[in-house]
A and B are shown apart, each in its own frame.
Chain A
Amino acid sequence: MIRRALLWLDARTGAAPLVRKGLRYLFPDHWSFLLGEVALYAFIMLVATGIYLTLFFEPSFGETTYTGSYAPMQGLPMSEAYRSALELSFDVPSGLLMRQTHHWAANVFVAAIVLHMIRVFFTGAFRKPRELTWIIGLLMLFTTLLEGYLGYSMVDDLLSGIGLAIGYGVALSVPVIGANLALGIWDGPFPGSTVFESRMYVAHVFLLPILIATLLAGHLALVASRHHTQFRASKRATQRRIVGMPAFPAQTPRSLGLMLMTAALLFLLGGLVQINPIWQWGPYETYQATNGAQPDWYLGWLIGSLRLMPGFDLSIGDYVLVPNPFWGGALFPLVVLGVLGAWPWLERRFTGERGFNNVLDRPRDAPGRTAFGAAFFTWVALIFISGSADRADVFLGLDYESQIWFYRVAVIVVPLLVFFVTRKVCAELQASDAIEEAREAAEEEAKAEAVAA
C-alpha cells in the first residue's frame, strides 16, 4: 500500500530519492535544540487562531455604539474595530478562547525565538557556514515584534491608542524625515485618518505574516542544507561526522508530539489565564491615558529605554535635530539588531578563525564571546527591567526617580562587571576541565602500567 503510493508519486514527481533522503535526515539530540521548534509551532498556532479571528474582526475606525452583551459598556460610542473585538470575546462561542490563545501564542512565540537565539549565540552555532541562518533569524525576531505590536494596536482600545501614540512619537523623532514619515504612515497628524486601521490590518494579517513565513522557510531550508550543529556528545560526533536520530521514525513523532504539546499549552493558557482583557481598557480617546496598563512583555525593553533616557532633544540653539524618543525607540533597537547581526563577523575578526564549524562550543570554550554575550544581555535586560520601575514604585514603594537614576548608572557599570566576571569564570572552568583531563590521563597511564607490571 505504502509502496504503491510512493511509486505512484515517484513516477509523477520523481520524489522517491528525496523522500528516502528526507526520512533519514539526521537530527542531533539536545533539549535546547527544541526551542526553535517551539517557536515554529507557536507560529503555526498564530496562523491558525489568527485566521479564525479575521473571520469576525472588523478592521474599521468607523464609529458605532456598543449594544453587545457586556453590560458596563452598553451605549458607549466606539469604533467598529473595538466593538467587533468585544463581540468576539463575549458573544462568539469559543471566540474568547481563540483570541486569548492567539495572544498567548504571540508571547510564547517571541519568548521561544529569544531563548533559541540565546542558545545559538552562546554555543557559537551562528559561525560559518551558518551566518545567513542567524541573520534571517534576527530579521524574523524584529518582524515579529512589529507584528505583535500591530496586533494589539488594531483592536483600538485604550492600550492600543497609547501604544500607537508612542509609535507616532518615535516615527516623528526620526532625524530629517520623521515628520514626513509619520504623516505618510498615519495619513495625517495623530490619531490619523480612518485608512490607518486598514493599513495596520493588512500589515498584521497579510504583509508581515507572509514576510515571517518567507523568512521561516529560508531559515529552515538553510538549516536543512547545512545540517544541524551538534555538541561533542560522543567521540563519533566531529566537525565532519554528524550523529543523530533519523527524521523517520525517531524524530517525526517526537516533533509532532512537541507540536501538539505546544498547542495544548497554548489552549490551556488561552482558556484559563486571562490576557489583554480589552473590555477593561475601554475605547481609546486621545485625551485619555492610564498607567496601569502594560504592553506585551516583548516591548518592555523599548519602554525601558524610552523611560531611561535623560530628557533632552539634540538641538543647535532652537533647531531640534534629534528628538528624544529616537534614542530609546529607534536607535536602541537598531543598535541591538546591528550588533547581533554583525557579531559573526566581529567574532571572526577577534579570533581570526575562518574554518567551518559543525561542533558547538560550550559557553566556557569561548570566554570572550560568552563574556560579551553575558554583558550585552545584561545591558538589554537591565533596560528591560527599568521599564518596570513604576510597578516597583507602586508595589514595593521604591521611589521612581531614584530608581531611574540607579538604572541610568547601572546600565553602564553592571555590564562591564558582568563582562570581566564571566570571562574569569570561563577561564576557571576551563582550568578545572584541564586538571580533570590531566587526572584522567594519569589514571589511565597508571592503569596501563599496572597491567604491564
Chain B
Amino acid sequence: MRRLWQGLLAVLTLGLGRRRERRRDEGEGDSGGGRGHDLVEPGPRNPGTELGVAALFLLAAASAVAFIVVYSLERFPAQHELFGVTLAAAFGFLGAGLIVLARRVLPSEELEEDYPEEEHVEAGIEAATIVEESGRSITRKRLLTAAGGTAGGAIGLAALTPALSLGPWFHTEPLRRTPWRAGRRLVDREGKPYRAEEIERETFYTAFPEGASHRTLGSMLVVVRLDPARLRLPRERADWAPEGILAFSKVCTHAGCAVGLYRKPTYPPTQPPPGLVCPCHYSTFDPALGGEVVFGPAGRPLPQLPLAIDGAGELRACGNFSNAIGPAWWGVNLEKPS
C-alpha cells in the first residue's frame, strides 16, 4: 500500500513538472508573435484546477486498481458490492475529471454558423432527370415494370418459404389436443393418484393426467371441493362434479398463465363466493357456475373436466374438457378439445 502511494506521488510530481514547463514554452511562442491568429479561443487559465483534475484522474486510476485488487482476493461476503463501488468510482472520477477539465480549463467558446442548406432543389431535379432519361429507350415500360415486379415478388416469396419450416404454422389441431381421456386418473406432482376424500374445501389442488407430460398446457388441472347444494352448473354437466369436487383447466383462458390463486370467502354471507383467480391479469372464474368469468379480462369460461370417483375412491376423468383450453384464437370455439 505504501509503495502504491509513493508511486502515485511520483507520477503526480512528474506530470505536474512537465506540464508547467510546456506552458512556459507556449507563452514564449505567443509573445514572439509566431502565429497570426488563433483558431481556438484561449481558454481560462486555471492551474489550480488542473491539479484537481489530475487528482481526479489519479483517483480514477486508484479505483480501477482497487477493483483489480478486490477481484484477485478470495471470495468474501461484500465482494460483489465492492466490485460495483470500485468500478463505479473509477468511471465516476474519470468522468468528473473530464467534465471539470472541459468547464474550467479548456476553452468553452460559443460559436455560430448557418444551418445546413434546407433543400438542394437543383441537385434533386437533376438526379430525378437522370433516372427518367435513362429509361427513354424503353418502349414497353408497363410490361417491363409488371414483369420485373412479378419476378421480385416471386423471389421474395421463395426466400420466405423456408420460414415455413420454423414451426407447424398450418397445423393448429395440437392447440385443441389434451391428454385427458375417460378413465384417466388424476395424480399429483409426484404421480400419486388423488383420492376423493383427500380433497378438502377452502383450498385447491393441482392435478395432472397419470402417465402424461406435466408440461403441456392441456394437462394441468385445478381441483376444488364445494358444497354440492351450492353448485349451479350448466344442465348437461349435472354429473361432472361428484361430491361437489370440480376440476378445471389450470390455464387462464385470457393469456395463458396458470390460474394460481383461490379466493375463498372468510365470511361467506358478506364476501363474494369462491373464485379461481389468475395472478397475471386477475381474471376471476366461479367454479360453482362451471368456470364462468365473473371479473377481469378473460373472454371465455375456464374449461371444466368431467370427474368420477372410482371404486377405490380415486378421482378419474370422465372425458375431455368442456371447451378448448388456454388462450383464445380466431375460431377457438368451433371444435371441442380432442
Contacts and interface: CB of A to CB of B under 8 A. Distances in A.
Nearest to B298: A311
B147 interface: no
B88 A324 contact: no
B89 A264 contact: yes
Interface string A92-132: 01101100110000000000000000000000000001000
B78 to A, nearest CB: 10
Interface stretch (A135-143, A147-155, A240-248, A424-432): A240-248
Contacts of B92: 260-261, 264-265, 268
B286 to A, nearest CB: 13
A311 B294 CA distance: 9
Contact of B112 (A26, A260, A313, A358): A26
A36 interface: no
A322 B279 CA distance: 23
Interface string A306-349: 11111111010011111111001100000000000000000000
Interface residues of A, number: 102
A271 B84 contact: yes
A338 B133 CA distance: 38
B115 A241 contact: yes
Given A188-B174, A267-B84, A320 B328 contact: yes
Contact of A129 (B118, B214, B258, B332): B118
A400 interface: yes
A172 B328 CA distance: 7
Interface stretch (B99-107, B137-145, B239-247): B99-107
Interface stretch (B11-19, B249-257, B305-313, B314-322): B249-257
Contacts of A190: 217, 256, 326
B151 interface: no
Nearest to A95: B80
B8 interface: no
Contacts of B216: 189, 286
A261 B84 CA distance: 14
Contacts of A101: 84
A81 interface: no
Interface in A215-234: 225-227
A368 to B, nearest CB: 25
B65 to A, nearest CB: 15
B96 A257 contact: yes
Given A129-B118, A287-B220, A307-B281, A250 B327 contact: no
A179 B95 CA distance: 52
Contacts of A165: 255-258, 280
A222 to B, nearest CB: 12
Contact of B169 (A162, A184, A226, A272): A184
A297 interface: no
A261 B98 CA distance: 10
B5 interface: no
Question: Which bucket holds chain B's interface residue count?
Answer: 35 or more
A245 B109 contact: yes
B221 to A, nearest CB: 9
Contacts of A406: none
Interface string A368-385: 000000000000000000
Contacts, number: 298
A289 B257 contact: yes
Contacts of B334: 318-319
Interface string A349-361: 0000000101000
Interface string B230-272: 0000000000000000000011101111111100000000000
A176 interface: yes
A45 to B, nearest CB: 10
A250 B172 contact: no
B116 A312 contact: no
Contacts of A308: 297
A420 interface: no
Given A129-B118, A189-B217, A400 B332 contact: no
Contact of B115 (A239, A261, A288): A239
B256 A188 contact: no
B295 A175 contact: no
Given A179-B172, A320-B328, A323-B329, A236 B112 contact: yes
Interface string B75-86: 100011111110
Contacts of B34: none
B204 to A, nearest CB: 12
B24 interface: no
A29 B258 CA distance: 52
B108 interface: yes
Nearest to B67: A94
Contacts of A267: 84, 87-88, 91
Contact of B75 (A93, A227, A285): A93
A310 B88 contact: no
B330 A320 contact: yes
A289 B260 CA distance: 6
B136 interface: no
A243 B106 contact: no
A178 B96 CA distance: 52
A244 B111 contact: yes
A183 B279 contact: no
B282 interface: yes
A243 B111 contact: yes
B114 A240 contact: yes
Contacts of A288: 258, 260
A271 B83 contact: yes
A307 B174 contact: no
A303 interface: yes
Q: Which 4 A-B pairs have the closest CB atoms?
A: A271-B84, A260-B95, A169-B255, A313-B299
Interface of A: 24, 26, 29, 93-94, 96-97, 100-101, 129, 162, 165-166, 168-170, 172-173, 175-191, 193, 225-227, 236-237, 239-246, 249-250, 252-254, 256-261, 263-265, 267-272, 285-291, 303, 306-313, 315, 318-325, 328-329, 356, 358, 390, 400-401, 404
Interface of B: 40, 43, 71, 75, 79-85, 87-92, 94-99, 101-103, 106-116, 118, 163, 166-172, 174-175, 177, 206, 208, 214-218, 220, 250-252, 254-261, 278-283, 293, 295-300, 326-334
25 contacts: A24-B111, A96-B80, A162-B280, A169-B255, A169-B256, A172-B175, A178-B329, A179-B330, A183-B169, A184-B169, A185-B166, A189-B218, A239-B115, A242-B115, A249-B43, A253-B99, A254-B99, A267-B88, A286-B251, A290-B260, A311-B296, A320-B329, A320-B331, A325-B255, A400-B282
Given A189-B175, A256-B95, A287-B214, 19 more contacts: A93-B71, A172-B175, A176-B330, A183-B169, A183-B175, A186-B167, A241-B114, A242-B112, A246-B109, A250-B107, A260-B91, A264-B88, A272-B85, A286-B215, A288-B258, A288-B260, A291-B280, A307-B282, A325-B327
